[in-house]
Amino acid sequence: MTDTPRILVTRKLPQAVEARAAETYAATLNPADGAYGPDGLVAAAEGMDGLLVAPTDRVDAALIGRLPDSVKIVATFSVGYEHIDLEAARARGLVVTNTPDVLTDATADMAVLLMLAAARRAHEGQTLLRAGKWAGWTPTQLMGIQVTGKRVGIVGMGRIGQAFAKRARAFDMAVHYYNRRRLDPALEQGAVYHDTVEGLLPQADFLSLHCPLTAETHHLMNGDRLALLPDGAVLVNTARGPVVDDDALIAALASGKLAAAGLDVFQGEPDVDPRYWALDNVFILPHQGSATVETRNAMGFRALDNLDAFFAGKEPGDRVA
């Protein structure tokens, strides 16, 4: 293309990412960070050659059908792309890219934080201190669960799952995993493979979810599967909220079947099921898994790399449609 491509950036991105976008493209930014609704996004896309969207933008078949003909590519600022209808994009000839790899370490770190905080009752300790109710140390106060030496089950042994397993081994944890395909032994590093989720769960004192959200994994952790975990297990979710059935998890936490949970993602974000607020044995964070300066910059640069390749007439490295 001879003219500078025009792109719409739908959310406020880190300063370094916006600076590069503005330098390379005729970029329409979103400094107020107000989320576009479908009508607003379609209107703002008029005359644009590409979109740089976020997981909060629902790019479904209806929206894709309304996009101006000028739009040829959608680059999402995320590794997940369940918010984009890939089939509809392919049918229209719309290129879609994502940002894999760059958020692996940050998300694996977050899973460790959630595991430790849930097991060691960090929420209860913080609440006690902030309410001014701590009367001092006692021998049996807020006794939690030791992480070191326990068994950890991992559902989804992709890049993030493997990074989490590496961290778990530093706690001398025995790693068990379920994946659609067994890893090469060199990547397993002694981890025990289970060919079904049901086979994995009884071996998981701690369970960490790292699978994508698909039709098959929606409510993967339902009441029947949670019942297969050992009594007093701890569940960690940094994957996607709908992988877990809220009704089943809340019941398991309230009954004591599960000792605790650490959650960074929720079904229906940002509307969190209010029943979680009444549970002291849940450590929760607002989808912070990739929220480091380094990672969010890298995500933005990766999205721009894909746009750069496309507008240079090359195949984007992270094309998913």
Catalytic residue among 18, 124, 188, 269: 269
In a domain, 48, yes or no: yes
For the chain, 321 residues long, the average pLDDT of each consecutive 10-residue run is: 87 98 98 94 98 97 98 97 97 98 97 98 98 98 98 98 98 98 97 98 98 96 98 98 98 98 96 97 97 98 98 98 97
* Residues 90 and 232 grouped into a single domain: no
302 falls within a domain: yes
Tell me, yes or no, whether 318 lies in a domain. Answer: no
User: Can 269 be counted among the known catalytic residues?
Assistant: yes
Catalytic residue among 287, 296, 302, 319: 287
Domain assignment of residue 231, yes or no = yes
User: Structural domain tally of the chain?
Assistant: 2
CATH of the domain at 256: 3.40.50.720
Catalytic-labelled residue, pool 240, 275, 296, 319: 240
Please check whether residues 148 and 200 belong to one and the same domain. yes
Query: 0.85 exceeded by the pTM?
Result: yes
Give me the pLDDT at residue 176, please: 98
120 shares a domain with 153: yes
Which pLDDT does position 35 carry in this prediction? 84
In the residue annotation, 123 being an active-site residue is answered as: no
Task: Give the ranges where the chain is alpha helix by DSSP (H).
Answer: 15-24, 38-44, 61-66, 86-92, 104-119, 122-130, 159-169, 185-188, 197-200, 223-226, 246-255, 293-311
Domain that holds residue 129: 104-284
219 an active-site residue? no
CB atoms within 10 A of CB 172: 10
Residue pLDDT, tens place only, 126-179: 999 999 999 999 999 999 999 999 999 999 999 999 999 999 999 999 999 999
109 and 127 in a common domain: yes
Residues 63 and 162 placed together within one structural domain of the fold: no
Residue 320 lies inside a defined structural domain of this protein = no
Check whether residue 132 and residue 159 sit in a common domain: yes
Rounded alpha-carbon distances, angstroms, from residue 228 to 16, 182, 184, 254, 309: 47, 22, 27, 17, 47
Kindly state whether residues 53 and 114 are assigned to the same domain. no
Give the pLDDT confidence score for residue 1 in this predicted structure. Answer: 44
Q: 136 and 192 in one domain?
A: yes
